[in-house]
Amino acid sequence: MQKNDIHLLIADDHPLLLEGLKNALHTHGYSHIVAVENGALALDYVKEEHPHVALLDIEMPLLTGFEVIKKCQALSVTTRFIILTSHKEKGFVLKAKKLNIAGYIIKDEPFIEIDKCIQEVAAGNTYFSATFDAVFEGEISPQLQKVKLLSPSERTILRLIAQNKNSKEIAELLSISVRTVQKHRANIISKLELPTGLDSLSVWTQEHQELILSI
């Protein structure tokens, strides 16, 4: 697909950035571009006009980029989505992976990366920044592999720990003894290769909320 044939939507709540991106895209040969400043307008436009590609910021008024994508996927729209954001944290990267989006680009990367991403995504491929891949492969994937070693009971207890439940509360909820819960906790700590300190598992669960929700 030629650049001037690609129907683009861009959404960002920073007017200067939005205008600058729109101008840069025009300069590089894209002619069919619509820019909006919040998630609700982005959702409405995708539902009504079905652009080929939508570039969305994550944090926008009314609806986040992720919320727009999730709602559009429920409607089975044909638009393909790219996240364009400053966020490099593993929680955002994992959420993007779970949504099975087509692209993820960091805002401080050269414009050529955005250009490449749009062309690849419009062609039916995926394109993720090197930063995105590094975070997923280096920080998320190893933790996912460890979590896969947990038994169903251990995964249930891990989810409850992530909800700030203590051993007594977990025992009551699952109708098991506190001693059994503590044994499971010890096994989880071992399988996740965490320090044996009292707070290590609680700290880990708070840092990996999105990962825990995915199991």
Instruction: Report the CATH number at residue 189.
Output: 1.10.10.10
Closest CA to 117 of 132, 105, 108: 105
Q: How far, CA to CA in Å, does 21 sit from each of 17, 32, 187?
A: 6, 13, 50
Q: Do 161 and 62 have their domain in common?
A: no
The neighbouring-strand residues paired with 76 are none
Whether residue 66 lies inside any domain: the answer is: yes
Could you tell me the residue range of the domain that residue 88 belongs to?
Answer: 3-135
Q: What token pair was written down for 57?
A: 């910021």
Q: Do 42 and 101 have their domain in common?
A: yes
pLDDT averaged per 10 residues, the chain (length 215): 91 93 94 96 96 96 95 93 90 87 93 95 94 87 88 93 91 93 92 84 86 77
Phi, psi of 112 (to 5 degrees): -55, -30
Point out the domain boundary residue: 100, 135, 170. Answer: 135
Place of tokens 């910021």: 57
Q: How far apart are CA 188 and CA 150, in angstroms?
A: 7
Helix or strand run (H / E) with residue 128: strand 127-128
Whether residue 75 lies inside any domain: the answer is: yes
Q: Do 44 and 128 have their domain in common?
A: yes
Q: Who contacts 19 (Cβ-Cβ below 8 Å, separation ≥6)?
A: 35
State the pLDDT at residue 143: 87
Q: Who contacts 156 (Cβ-Cβ below 8 Å, separation ≥6)?
A: 174
Q: How far apart are CA 104 and CA 98, in angstroms?
A: 13
The neighbouring-strand residues paired with 8 are 33, 53
Q: Do 129 and 78 have their domain in common?
A: yes
Q: Do 64 and 125 have their domain in common?
A: yes
> What single-letter DSSP state applies at residue 63?
S
Could you give the angle at which helices 200-207 and 152-162 cross, rounded to 10 degrees?
Answer: 80
Q: Do 56 and 115 have their domain in common?
A: yes
Closest CA to 192 of 159, 150, 146: 146
Give how far the C-alpha of residue 69 lies from the chain's centroid of Cα atoms, to the nearest Å: 10
The CATH code of the domain that includes 83 is 3.40.50.2300
Q: Do 166 and 99 have their domain in common?
A: no
Q: pTM for the whole thing?
A: 0.80
Q: Do 11 and 102 have their domain in common?
A: yes
Q: How far apart are CA 193 and CA 176, in angstroms?
A: 25
Q: Do 170 and 193 have their domain in common?
A: yes
Tally of domains in the chain = 2
Q: What is the dihedral of CA 133, 135, 141, 146, to 10 degrees?
A: 170
- What separation, in Å, do the N-terminal and C-terminal C-alpha atoms of the chain show? 38
Whether residue 209 lies inside any domain: the answer is: yes
Q: What is the dihedral of CA 158, 163, 169, 173, to 10 degrees?
A: -70
